[in-house]
Structure 1
Amino acid sequence: MARTRSENYDDIQQGILNAACALFAQQGYMRASIADLADACQISRGALYHYFDSKEAILCAILDAHVRRMIADVETAMARQTNNLDRFRAAIRAIVELNARSSNEQRLILNDLTFLSEAEQTAVKALQRQLVDTVSDLLIRLDTEGRIVKRSKKVYTMMLFGMLNFSHTWYDPKGDIAPQEFADMVVDQFLYGFTAPAAKAAPARKQHA
């Protein structure tokens, strides 16, 4: 007979994900055992299996939820804006702010995605492509000089994501530069650069002064 769910099932399940995410980020997914997970979650191994079939299922749930949250945050932020530049800036802010709150998840998705099954990797990567395509489309709309062509589209897009995805290795969101300011620095640097004419850089500074 199947076990019934407790009233606080979802809360306990989310608590497991939170504890597991911190453990995997600190200790490493492969080095963390089921016993380590049970200790981190303060439940028995038997109880742990009531909520997740395996350690891999926990990792998959963490990564899937993180990417879905990023997509939702970006879409919500973009929906509040009326022009492409503001949509782009809002999208980058949403990504930076979520990563600032979720540095453990960001480490896992960069380092441990390959430990999932092929089918699970495919599913998570499909979500990632959805996000990348959204940002790439914004870049193309902002590209008034026609620099982004078929052969360079991926390069430009991944240059931008390279600035964002690995910031957790050095960026401290509690430091002098807050996440929103950091996001604006990324946008201005990527779109205008240090040596851009003042006429190009001025609109962004004026708009967000």
Structure 2
Amino acid sequence: MARTRSENYDDIQQGILTAACELFAQQGYTRASIAELAEACRLSRGALYHYFQSKEAILFAILDAHVRQMIADVETAIASKSTTLDQFRVAIRAIVELNALSSNEQRLILNDLTFLSESEQAMIKSLERQIVDLVSDLLIRLDKEGKIVKRTKKIYTMMLFGILNFSHTWFDPAGGITPTEFADMIVDLFLYGFTMPTSQAVKKNALRQGA
């Protein structure tokens, strides 16, 4: 007879993912043992296997949930604005703000994705491409000078994601710059450049705030 689910099954399962994510990020996925994971979750090994079939299944669930949440956040942000520039700005904010809350997940997706099976890696990468495509489409629509062509599309897009994906290694969300401010700095730097005359920068900021 199949074992029935408890009323708090989903809460316990989410608690396992939260504890595992922290443990994997701190120790590394390969070094974290099932025994250590069970201890971190305050469960027996047998109880742990009731919720997930393997350590790999836990890693996949963490990464899958994180990337799906990012897709949902970016799509919601884009739908909330009408102009392409505003859509681009809030899309970047959504990515930065989620990453600021999910530094452990970011470490895992950058460092430990290869420990999943090939099929699981393919599923995560397919989801990641959805995010890249959403942002890339906005960049193309913003490109008024024809800089983004087939030969340069990936370069421009991944230059931007290079800033976004590795900021967790040094950016402190609790510091003097908020995640929203940081996201706007990324947008302004990427679209307008660091050497934009101050008068133009002030004018663009005033127009953005008045929108």
Give TM-score, length-normalised by structure 1: 0.97
Q: Which residue of 2 is the match for residue 93 of structure 1?
A: 93
Query: What residue identity is the alignment partner of 2:163?
Result: M
How far apart are residue 202 of structure 1 and its match? 4.6
Show CA shifts across 1:87-115 (max 9, x none): 00000000000000000000000000000
Q: Counterpart in 2 of 1:170?
A: 170
Give the corresponding residue for 1:192.
Answer: 192
1:113-124 → structure 2 map (5 Å cutoff): 113-124=113-124
Which residue of structure 2 aligns with residue 56 of structure 1? 56
1:15 paired residue number? 15
Determine the C-alpha separation between the residues in 1 that align with 2:104 and 2:13.
18
Letter in 2 for 1:118: E
Determine what percentage of the aligned residue pairs are the same residue: 76
Q: Aligned residues, how many? A: 209
Indicate the RMSD between aligned Cα atoms, in angstroms. 1.2
Flag structure 2 segments of 5+ consecutive residues without an equivalent. Answer: none
How many angstroms apart in 1 are the aligned matches of 2:110 and 2:9? 29
Q: 2: distance between equivalents of 1:7 and 1:94?
A: 33
The aligned counterpart of 2:209 is 208
Query: How many Å apart are 1:203 and its aligned residue?
Result: 5.1
Following the alignment from structure 2 to structure 1, what is the Cα–Cα distance between the partners of residues 177 and 198? 23
- Name the CA distance, whole Å, in 2 between partners of 1:197 and 1:23: 46
> 3-state DSSP class of the match of 2:61?
helix
State the distance in 2 between where 1:159 and 1:181 align.
20
- Structure 2 Cα separation of the partners of residues 145 and 197 of structure 1: 20
Unaligned runs of 5+ in 1: none
- In the other structure, the counterpart of 1:110 is 110
